Chains A and B, each alone.
Chain A
């Protein structure tokens, strides 16, 4: 018996050569953005990671830039930007809730633990 609940959405989604050219241009644009941000991050790390006063500023900069890169990879390369809004939210809301907030909480707690342990020694 043939299944009638499995619809092949991909059969509708074919692009022409001109649409392909536009999309390829966008792909390379995102590549240059990613490359520039990565070089900037590595440069910042090389110059300032040994300077203790800049540690907090450096950490926040890295997290913001990495989220910036992640946004471009997920929306553009993984084509999440082309999906419906409801599906975008289904994927992004748990990620943002659990991952980003937990990272923030953990770094806060860890630096507190470090200063407490230091005050005991």
Chain B
């Protein structure tokens, strides 16, 4: 029988008729889904961690790969991905402010903060597309990939980003470009990255990058769609009539999970 949650003594929690955790069904199921999704992402990240350390000597530095900024022609390491992380954290803050406004039945507040969360999410998606584009496109100088799959890179100064097109490094050995071309006539000059070839280092770097950030981006995309749907519901007054904004809370849980996954992906992909 339905009863007020605080008036039920805790000893009768598991006897039926009430939620033993004092939580509604929808919220609890959202939490259980998030745990399962967290385990999925952990599986991906653990596989990534294993491969990254197995091929530690040919794994590229993320700071060498991700140097682009919108509307800027030069190279700055990791600044844009730091901005992306900041945008997603900000959208998490606006989301929890929307939930807080829902607790006070403040319909206008919920609409404002939900709108800002959607804008933040869409900005993140656009930024991720920007990163993908520049990674696939590659650098102007490219790198040589030998017939055995080894990547021979030009020497790049980390601070000035000047490329020395006359010196090539292959498996730790430095040689001049004409010598390299004589020794490996079958080597192809390749730009950018796809699922099988990568100018920056081991091809698995590209594989894992596209797979994990793609999966995460898909979660962000579905989160943005859900937020739009709930925003339409809030504007229409459905939750106000219902008497509570728990739907905003549930969708907020999903959005925070998306942010949490990005925190882990960002740390393990770009910083480690």
Contacts and interface: CB of A to CB of B under 8 A. Distances in A.
Real complex partners, A and B? yes
Given A78-B253, A107-B53, A95 B246 contact: no
Interface of B: 1-6, 17-25, 28, 31, 35, 38-39, 42, 45-46, 49-57, 61, 63, 77-78, 82, 85-86, 89-90, 92-93, 95-97, 99-101, 103-106, 158, 243-246, 249, 252-253, 256-257, 259-260, 263-264, 267-268, 270-272
Interface in A83-121: 83-84, 86-87, 90-91, 94-95, 98-99, 102-103, 106-107, 109-111, 113-114, 117-118
A42 interface: yes
A53 interface: no
Contact of B42 (A38, A62, A103, A118): A103
Contacts of B25: 6
Given A50-B158, A78-B256, A102-B42, A7 B19 contact: yes
Contact of B50 (A13, A41, A106): A106
Contacts of A17: 104
Contacts of B28: 87
A7 B28 CA distance: 13
Nearest to B46: A106
Given A107-B53, A114-B56, A77 B256 contact: yes
Contact of B35 (A66, A73, A95): A95
B63 A66 contact: no
Nearest to A87: B21
Contacts of B95: 77
A91 B39 CA distance: 12
A109 B46 CA distance: 11
A112 B67 CA distance: 32
B93 A111 contact: no
B19 A9 contact: yes
A92 to B, nearest CB: 9
A95 B271 CA distance: 23
Most interface-central of B3, B82, B105, B271 (chain A CB within 10 A): B271
B97 A38 contact: no
Interface string A3-32: 011111111111111001001100110010
Nearest to A108: B53
Nearest to B259: A73
Contacts of A110: 49-54
A99 B243 contact: no
Contacts of A81: none
B50 A14 contact: no
B93 A31 contact: yes
Contacts of A102: 42, 46
A70 B272 contact: no
